[in-house]
Amino acid sequence: MSTLEIKDLHASVNGTDILKGLSLSVPKGEVHAIMGPNGSGKSTLAKVMAGHQDYEVGSGDVLLDGYSLLEMDVDERARAGLFLAFQYPAEIPGVSNANFLRAARQARLPDGEEIDAVAFYQEMYEKMAKLGMDKKFTGRSVNEGFSGGEKKRNEVLQMMMLEPKYAVLDETDSGLDIDALKIVAEGVNAMRSEERGFLVITHYQRLLEYIVPDHVHVLNEGRIIRSGPKELALELEEKGYDWLKEGELVKS
């Protein structure tokens, strides 16, 4: 039951089928990577799991510890323990990072209970320090005017503050230079635990040098066409995706 399980998922956007029977299981305590060429459906999978309204689920299910995420509203999914680190995080003018995080934490408390502001700020500053983020980011509007790297760090900060059961990282490496990549990876690695599962979506093998996965899955045309150990990522780097596409051999 302690798994994030995707079962034969079919999904489309604007009438175009993108996911065509995707199945995958991420137990707690493991890091799974999904790799795949552009257009294979990687980001669609992330958005569908989070509940983006532009994506329509045809059939299949996504179960978080046995409960169907697809039956829940977007915010309920998050409170149930799912976290999506976005490839392109939204900018929210006028809403400070601190107020944003506070609202997210507040939403997890029972009605009538108030967040302990002092403890909250202390925790936030500690976690920001780990990510090399200046304190001034707390007062700045969420992601507004942030560089690509700053946005990604901010995503990881949110993940650290919200401590999800399962985190989906959508192309968290894109837009990061090598130093930022190391910091972000350290943040993720520090959160690896028996109580948490990760699904790391990436186009390049580079990220997986720093966040070493337990399993690697290859996504093509909306389906997993190959699963294997972490070495599969290196093989892909060497041979490219075409090598797999030709055979389309599913092996797990």
Binding stretches for another protein (CB under 8 A): 50-53, 73-75, 77-79, 84, 86, 89-95, 99-100, 103-104, 106-108, 141-142, 158, 162
Closest approach, Cβ 214 to another protein, in A, equals 25
Is residue 110 packed enough to be buried (19+ CB in 10 Å), middle (13-18) or exposed (0-12)?
Answer: exposed
106: its two tokens: 């507040």
In the complex with another protein, which residue's Cβ is closer, 196 or 223? Answer: 196
> Least separation, in Å, of the C-beta of 50 and another protein?
5
> Least Å distance between CB 33 and another protein?
21
Pick the closer one to another protein by CB: 102 or 217. 102
Q: How far apart are CA 214 and CA 197, in angstroms?
A: 11
Task: Give 20's contacts (C-beta < 8 A, 6+ positions apart).
Answer: 10, 221, 222, 223
Least separation, in Å, of the C-beta of 249 and another protein?
Answer: 35
Instruction: Rank residues 107 and 129 by Cβ distance to another protein and give the closer one.
Output: 107
Report, in Å, the least distance between residue 89 CB and another protein: 7
The dihedral of CA 74, 79, 82, 84: what is its sign? positive
The span from the CA of 8 to the CA of 77, in Å, is 19
Residue 108 or residue 135: which is nearer to another protein going by CB? 108
Please state whether 169 falls in left (phi above 0), alpha (psi between -120 and 50) or beta: beta
Task: Considering the complex, state which of residue 63 and residue 72 has its C-beta at the smaller distance from another protein.
Answer: 72
Residue with tokens 């302690």: 2
Rounded CA separation 95/57 (Å): 32
Local structure of 21: helix, strand or coil = strand
User: Nearest 5°: phi and psi at 103?
Assistant: -65, -40
Residue number with CB closer to another protein (9 or 84): 84
C-beta closer to another protein: residue 169 or 232: 169
Indicate the helix (H) or strand (E) that contains 198. Answer: strand 197-202
Tokens representing 167 are 């985190």
Q: Shortest gap between Cβ of 120 and another protein (angstroms)?
A: 15
Query: In angstroms, what is the minimal distance from the CB of 90 to another protein?
Result: 4
Residue 212 per-residue DSSP state: -
Helix (H, G, I), strand (E, B) or coil at 88: coil
